Every structure is written in structure tokens, then in C-alpha cells.
Amino acid sequence: MFIVIAGGGKVGCTLARGLLAEGHEIALIEKNKQRHQQLSDEFGESVVYGDASDAFVLKQAGANRSELLVAASGKDQDNLIVCQMAKIVYMVPKTLARVNDPKNEALFNMLGVDQTVNTTNMISALIGHKMGTSFLTELMSFRNAEIVQIEVPEGSPVLGKPVKDLELPRDTLLIAAIRNDQVQILKGESMLAAGDTVIAFTTRSGEEALRAVI
Amino acid sequence: MKIVVCGCGQVGTKVAEALSLQKHEVTVIDRDVDTFRKLEAGTGCRFVVGDATDQEVLRRAETEAADAFLALTGEDNANLFAAQVAKELLKVRKVIVRLADPIRATAFAEMGLTTVCGTDLMADLIGKKLAGR
């Protein structure tokens, strides 16, 4: 796939490396001259110098033939406008934006950005998880749905019951459990144990109810 | 009218002063507390210090209750961002965006925003002056 990445900071640059390793074709746009030079040493011709919200720069990066544009800068206003310009001017089929201020996630979705990655929320959730203060961590989010990881606590009401008998919230599916580093796909008859890490698919509204069930 | 003006640079200051003279109730938002000194004393504008791309700052300026919202900072993306928050989220009826980039101005005008492009206006005016009109 040909992917345009706007913003060559640590996030954009690491993403570019990963995508290249997976065999994708990329263009990386960077507006800081010095940073652009550094990136060119590593990525060569794939790096484009300029402001990604400028239509000429997007064109130079090949946005008009790209299948996906990722806005990965640390500034939300730039990420939003880059995605919108890619959609309006070059009809890029799919845009994904990094959201730095959690308050902006709903706004981005409302204004036509196809997917958002809320880095601040993810980091704080992960820190909470590592500190052991939260037992539910969001791993991935889609428009209204998410994949979460939940630790089954001691004395949880789910213990001793098969999965099919649990009163789960609507549109929620328990996918797998990880026990002693072994992954087990959950079926109706599966039983959960305290200390299991459960991977579940749920919705924004289902998340709270899911916390209560497990 | 209740009007919120984002950006207290040369354009923002001039617009805010003119609107206050016309007895409108003006709130000015700017990141830098010092820029407010540029506004003439006695204009009666209300000041809010903060970044106009922060939804919280726009709410603090009571944008929801405003009749008009003018995004006049020198940064195109900040203006487009603040204007869309005002229009789509805070439901302000009249929203005007100042832009330097003509392409961004055309693209977002197509999306229904009212844009004013300084570059286009200036180029047009220079052309007319040159022709002696």
C-alpha cells in the first residue's frame, strides 16, 4: 500500500520504518528543514520538505495516488486540517490522525477523519495498567467500538461460570484469555480464572458495563 | 451582538476595536497576555488568555452564547480548527475564518465555511492599483 505520513517526529519516523519493513511504499512530509535533512539521510527520496496542509506539498508527496494518509504530528490543529485537505482536495480514501488532546477525538470523528489514535489516553491508560491501578486497558479504538484488555480479579463474579452464562453488555464479545503466557480462544464453555488477561471487543457504552461484569 | 475574536495581532486588534466602537459586546482570545496592551484603553473588550485551538479556552470565552465567531490569528490551521469547533460543536451561527493560503480558503469554502483570504485580496488590489483603478 502507498501511505503518506505527515509529520516526521518520533511517531511519524518510527511508523515509516515499520511500514517500510512490512513492504509498504511511503512518503514522509516534514516541515522543519533541519529535521528534513536528517530524515533524508535515512529515508532518501521518500522524504518531502514542506507544510503538509499545503496542497502543493501533499501533491508532491503523491497524496493524489495514496490509499491512506496518516497525520502524526504533535499538533492537533495541523493533524485535523491535513486530513481534511487530503480528503477535500485529493480524495484520499482513508485518513488517520493522531489526537494529542483527548477532548479532540470526538471532534475529529465528527469532522470526517476516518480513524483516530488518541495517544494521550493510550499512554495514561497504559501507565495506569502498569501501576496496577486500572484493570481495564483500551488496546485499540474504532469509531464507536474498541478492543480492551481486562485482568480478572480475585473474587470476580465471572469465576466458576462458563463464558456463555455471563451477562455481558450488548455488542460485547470476549475473544481470548491469556493465562501463564498461553493464549486460549474463548468459547461458550470456557471458564475464566483469577489473574487471566481477557481480550474483549466492546463498544464505548459497553465498556462501563463490562467493568461491572468482570 | 456578542462577538468572539480569536487572535489579537494587527488584524484582530483592528477588527475588535471597530466592533467595540459599534457597541458590540466583544471577547478577544489570545495566547499572549501582552498583546492585549495593543487594544486601546476603554474599548471595553473582554480578554481571555489561552490557545484558541483548545476547546476549553473557547468555552471559557463563552463562544456557545456568541452570535459571531471570527478566527483571525496568523495561523491558517489554528483558525480553521477553532472555526470548526465554533461552528460544528458550539453551534455559532456566523463564523468567519481568516486565511493566507488561497487553496485552503477555496477548499474550506466548499465545505461551507466563510473564508477571507488575505493573499487573494491583496493580489487583487495590487492588480487594480497597477491598472490605475
| pLDDT score of B114 | 97
B106-119 average pLDDT score: 96
Q: Is the pLDDT of residue A25 over 70?
A: yes
A9-18 average pLDDT score: 96
Domain that holds residue B10: 2-130
What is the domain partition of chain A in residue ranges?
2-118, 135-213
| N residues, chain B | 133
Q: Where do we find the cell 493580489?
A: B123
Bridge partners, residue A99, by sequence: A118
Bridge partners, residue A118, by sequence: A99
- The DSSP symbol for B86 reads I
| pLDDT score of B36 | 81
The C-alpha atoms of residue A48 and residue A74 are separated, in whole angstroms, by 18
Using an 8 Å CB-CB cutoff, list chain A residues near B88: 107, 110-111
Among chain A residues, the shortest Cα distance to B52 is held by A77
Helix axes A10-21, A33-43, angle to 10 degrees: 20
Cβ within 8 Å, pair A81-B80: yes
Strand pairing report for B68-71 and B2-6: parallel
- The DSSP symbol for A196 reads P
A101-124 average pLDDT score: 92
Q: Considering its fold, how many domains does chain B have in total?
A: 1
Distance from CA of A78 to the nearest CA of B (A): 6
The C-alpha atoms of residue A14 and residue A79 are separated, in whole angstroms, by 17
To test the contact with chain B by mutation, choose from A81, A108, A110 the residue with the greatest count of B C-beta atoms within 10 A, namely: A81
Using an 8 Å CB-CB cutoff, list chain B residues near A113: none
Distance from CA of B28 to the nearest CA of A (A): 20
Cα separation of the two ends of chain A: 40
Helix axes B102-110, B118-130, angle to 10 degrees: 120
The C-alpha atoms of residue A210 and residue A44 are separated, in whole angstroms, by 48
Bridge partners, residue B4, by sequence: B27, B69
- Which is more confident, A132 or B98? B98
| pLDDT score of B12 | 95
pTM of this prediction? Answer: 0.82
The C-alpha atoms of residue B69 and residue B92 are separated, in whole angstroms, by 7
What's the grid cell of residue B98? 481568516
| pLDDT score of B8 | 92
Show which residues on chain A lie within 8 Å of chain B, measured between beta carbons.
53-56, 75-78, 80-81, 84-85, 88-89, 101, 103-104, 107, 110-111
The C-alpha atoms of residue A9 and residue A35 are separated, in whole angstroms, by 8
The C-alpha atoms of residue B125 and residue B121 are separated, in whole angstroms, by 6
Q: Is the pLDDT of residue A204 over 90?
A: no
How far out from the chain centre does Cα A67 lie? 18
The domain that contains B67 carries what CATH number? 3.40.50.720
Phi, psi of B117 (to 5 degrees): -100, 110
Q: Is the pLDDT of residue B41 over 80?
A: no
Distance from CA of A88 to the nearest CA of B (A): 7
Cβ within 8 Å, pair A77-B111: no
> Would you identify the CATH topology of the domain A135-213?
Alpha-Beta Plaits (3.30.70)
| pLDDT score of B2 | 97
Amino acid identity at A136: L
Mean pLDDT, chain B, rounded, equals 94
Burial B13-47 (b: 16+ CB within 10 A, else e): bebbbebbeeebbbbbbbbeeebbeebeeeeebeb
Class for the domain spanning A2-118: alpha beta
